[in-house]
Structure 1
Amino acid sequence: MRLGVYVGGAGSTLEEMIGQACAAADAGLDSAFFSQITAWDALTVAALAGQRVPGIELGTAVVQTYPRHPLVLAGQALTAQVATGHRFTLGVGPSHRHFIEGAFGHSYDQPAQHTREYLSALRPLLRGEHVEHRGSFLTVAGQVEVPGATAVPVLLAALGPVMLRVAGELADGTVTVWAGPEAIAGHVVPTITRAAAAAGRPAPRIVAAVPISVTADPEGVRQAVEAHVGFAASFPAYRTILARDGRSAVRETVVAGDEATVASSIRQFADAGVTDLLASLVGSDEDRRRTLRWLGSRRRADWN
């Protein structure tokens, strides 16, 4: 299992976000993925980070599909691919009704069908191919030419069975959030893997974003996370995935405690079939530095 960091943009400066990616690379981790809500543009941040952060994979987790036409997103992603020296992975997702209808004004009816159509057009564009697509949700006619760009891998944020099947058929893997080892092992991995096999595709990547803190105050860390993002449990997709783990609150997903406690929890994710764990570093500044140092001291062999 590979280890990386999940870099949130809310409240951070550009230098801070790129600094987190630099710190991950310096610590010996494998990747840094940037979040996208309504703050910094994650694709631009990843492209800029590619100029300063050596070696590691850089990606988005995740860019919303509805506000960006596939031709636009393909151009941005291929640009980031070149800017990062071909180390870029594009994570996309349909987001949630609250954002798509409330903030962007798009209809959120049939998000899975929208996503299937979107990926059907986006994937060939990311290979530099010409696309002529006229569907129920999208019209795409054109080609994106970025000299020197290689095809961009795509991950799809998917938690429900229909979206996981779309991810298995049309993407290179999935990105999960708020999903624990039980839900990943019993639901996410078998659903997406069966879909990929049926479509004749390779075994998919299972990328799990998890709040992690090596800390002397685990309960304080959990309370702080709940105060900051606890509202996510009200979204239907997140409420359902939490329930699959027998949970009802975001705070219950936080991996926090001493090194032995955190190592045991991370091992559960590896055993569940996670291929890439993205640590969302939480807690005090010192907790975050301590957690990153500790993660960097581990090796893939510890989890494989």
Structure 2
Amino acid sequence: MQIGLAVGDVRGPATLAAVVDQVQVAADSGFATAWASQALGGDALTALAVAGAGADIAVGTAVVPVPQRHPMMLAGQALTVQAAVAGRLTVGVGVGVGAMVSGMFGLSTDRPVQRMREYLTVLGPLLRRETVDYHGEMLTAVGAVMVPGDVPAPSVLLAAMGPRMVRMAGELSDGTVTWMTGPKALADHIVPVITEAAADAGKASPRIVAGLPVCVTDAVGDVRARIAEQFALAAQVPEYRATLDREGVAGPQDVAIVGNDIEVARALARFRDAGVTEFMAAPYGTAEEQNRTIELLAELVRTTEK
């Protein structure tokens, strides 16, 4: 199992310069990928284009919610970033949190699986610079994305938690990326379902990227309390609540990886044993806590490579 590092807003408010620094640290420390999530701050893909162009590391989004971005627009942006980072981009996409998509953008959230199926059906060919002429129930896309260059199409991962979305990730994408999902839900539900779906579709074994807050600390109770407060929304919205229930936990504070060096290493091993191909660590806490966490994770990366 590889270890990647989350950068940007998921670790706290970050300027573009800070994201550039975080990506460089990830590259210098030997992490597999620098992952940026699209929230309500800066644009994740733009930040990765700037930061990834000067750092020798794979980069990816985990994830970009797609309701606000037509696939032709996202394909054009992704191919531009792919050129900037010399072919090292992974595009993680998701349907977004329904309450935010409807409440903030006024967009429909009905039939999310069908919407994503149509989106992925169009996005893949567009990223391969193919012309599409698609008229679906929920999406129309006609034309091609004219981005010059010879870089390959970026890999596409789908944020998936429910059974139908997980199966679709295996069928129509290169794998899945999860957030606030523990090792039990991954081992019992997500990994076997997506692996079977990929095999049925005649595809290679899927990439399975699992993301969680990680904090190396001696003040476990205090850190878990802060995580419970900061990520309280994840315990309330249906998208995450179902996955937390599969894990048998109350909230994000219970799946986050928090503890001393030994406890964190053991927790990561459980994700490896669950079938995760890359763990996306989001260093949590103060600058001192995050630095301590990155130091341990970097040491685990070096140990794994030996």
* TM-score of the superposed pair, with normalisation by structure 1: 0.97
2:158 partner SS? strand
Distance 1:189 1:64 in 2: 22
Shift of 1:294: 1.3
- 1:260 paired residue among 255, 259, 262: 262
Q: 2-side partners of 1:63 and 1:22: how far apart?
A: 22
CA contact (8 A) 1:35 1:63 kept: yes
- Which of these residues, 204, 209, 222, is aligned with residue 206 of structure 2? 204
Counterpart of 1:232, as a letter, is: A
Query: Please, which of 18, 30, 33 is the counterpart of residue 32 of structure 2?
Result: 30
Give, as a single letter, the amino acid of the residue that structure 2 aligns with 1:13.
Answer: T
* 1:124 to 2:125 alignment: yes
Correspondence for 2:136: 135
Q: Answer yes or no: is the 8 Å Cα contact 2:179–2:210 preserved in 1.
A: yes
Distance 1:153 1:284 in 2: 33
Using the TM superposition, name which of 95-104 and 72-81 deviates more: 95-104
1:303 CA drift (Å): 9.3
Structure 2: distance between partners of 1:301 and 1:112: 40
Distance (Å, rounded) in 1 between the aligned partners of 2:190 and 2:104: 29
- SS of the counterpart of 1:103? helix
Aligned to 2:179: 177
Task: Name the CA distance, whole Å, in 2 between partners of 1:181 and 1:303.
Answer: 23
Mapping of residues 1-304 of structure 1, within 5 Å: 1-9=1-9, 11-54=13-56, 56-148=57-149, 149-299=151-301, 302=304
Q: Which amino acid aligns with 2:64?
A: V
Give, in whole Å, the separation in 2 of the partners of 1:84 and 1:11: 24
SS in 1 for 2:105: coil
In structure 1, runs of 5+ residues without a counterpart are: none
What is the alpha-carbon distance in structure 2 between the residues aligned to residue 189 and residue 181 of structure 1? Answer: 10
> CA offset at residue 300 of structure 1?
7.1
- Amino acid across the alignment from 1:111: P
Q: 1:194 to 1:301 in 2, by over 3 A?
A: farther
Which consecutive unaligned segments of at least 5 residues does structure 2 have? none
- Please report the TM-score for the alignment, with normalisation by the length of structure 2: 0.96
Structure 2 counterpart of 1:24, one-letter code? A
Rounded to whole Å, the distance in 2 between the matches of 1:115 and 1:244 is: 23
Counterpart CA distance in 1 for 2:8 and 2:51 is 14
Conservation of the 8 A alpha-carbon contact between 1:270 and 1:303: no
Would you identify which runs of 4 or more consecutive aligned residues in structure 1 move more than 3 Å?
A: 299-304
Paired letter, 1:86: G
Give CA deviations for 1:51-88 in whole Å, capped at 9, x if unaligned: 2222x110101111111011100000000000011100
1:37 and 1:296 mapped to 2: Cα distance? Answer: 26
SS state at 1:60 partner: strand
Does the 8 A contact of 2:212 with 2:280 survive in 1? Answer: yes
Identity %: 45
**1:206, 1:273 within 8 Å by CA — same for their partners in 2?**
yes
Name the count of aligned residue pairs. 303
